[in-house]
Amino acid sequence: MAKQTVEALIEGGKATAAPPLGPALGPLGVNIGQVVAEINKKTQSFKGMQVPVKVEVDSDTKAFSISVGTPPAASLILKEAGIQKGAGNPKTDRVADLKIEQVIKIAKMKEDALLGKDLRAKVREIIGTCDSMGVLVEGVPAREANGQVAAGKFDKEISEERTEISAAEMKELEEEKRKLQEELKARRAEYEAKAKAIVAGMEGKTSSEIKKALAEAGLPQQIIDEFTPKDAAAAASGGEKKEKSAAPPKK
């Protein structure tokens, strides 16, 4: 019994007969409409995320089976937190908060891909990813939450494999997310004003000097990159050298 395999990355619940699936499945003689419908059914819970899908087709009977992978842990965290992206500077910026139940849910979804020997260890792996994204867990920085898990604070929730939160808790998280976003916006405005003042006060200086001053002022790398001007002085100097080299030799 020969089998052929098609693998593709599709948006959850939105597979179509268009590329990449359609052209790959067409030559196999399988009913593409049925395959697409089955994929969409299996990936419905991953709406808005890219999901790895594998379709195995029996060359003789044209019967097919579908296996669905899970999106990266970071994508699942973004979905649970209801945000588009993580913090640009996760060491200082916080963009959202998750309850331990949501972390457990993600750990269970990624269970086969995580290295931890048990669910508690897998939960700690997910919290580690939260840390790199500027996402709080239970209202505290992810590193602190990881310490709490290690100390056994959430043993009951983990042992019972709780993955649901109440409407009241969801509302609480939404309100906290709104406050965090407002704080982030205010902090960025403060950074921008500080960067503009430094750049204005260093007129005529090279970009490397200005970049150094912005860094010494403690500004995030993203702001430094945005506000460091091009080295006009160096460009002008280079232009003068070109003019001199292009001048005809004196007779």
Q: What pLDDT digit, counting tens, does each position of 71-124 carry? A: 889 989 999 999 999 998 888 899 999 999 999 999 998 887 889 999 999 999
Confidence (pTM): 0.68
The answer to whether position 104 is within a domain reads: yes
Q: Decide if pLDDT at 240 tops 50.
A: no
Same domain, 53 and 117: no
pLDDT for 162 beyond 50: yes
The pLDDT of 48-70, averaged and rounded, is 89
Judged by phi (left if over 0) then psi (alpha if -120 to 50, else beta), residue 132 lies in alpha
**Domain hosting residue 10, numbered range:** 3-68
Distances in whole angstroms, Cα of residue 84 to Cα of each of 79, 96, 185, 226: 8, 11, 15, 21
In terms of domains, do 59 and 85 share one?
A: no
Q: Do 103 and 157 belong to one domain?
A: yes
CATH code of 148's domain: 1.10.10.250
* Separation of first and last alpha carbons in the chain: 88
How many domains are contained in the chain?
3
Tell me: do 108 and 155 sit in the same domain: yes
Whether residues 80 and 60 share a domain: the answer is no
Domain-terminating residue out of 50, 68, 86: 68
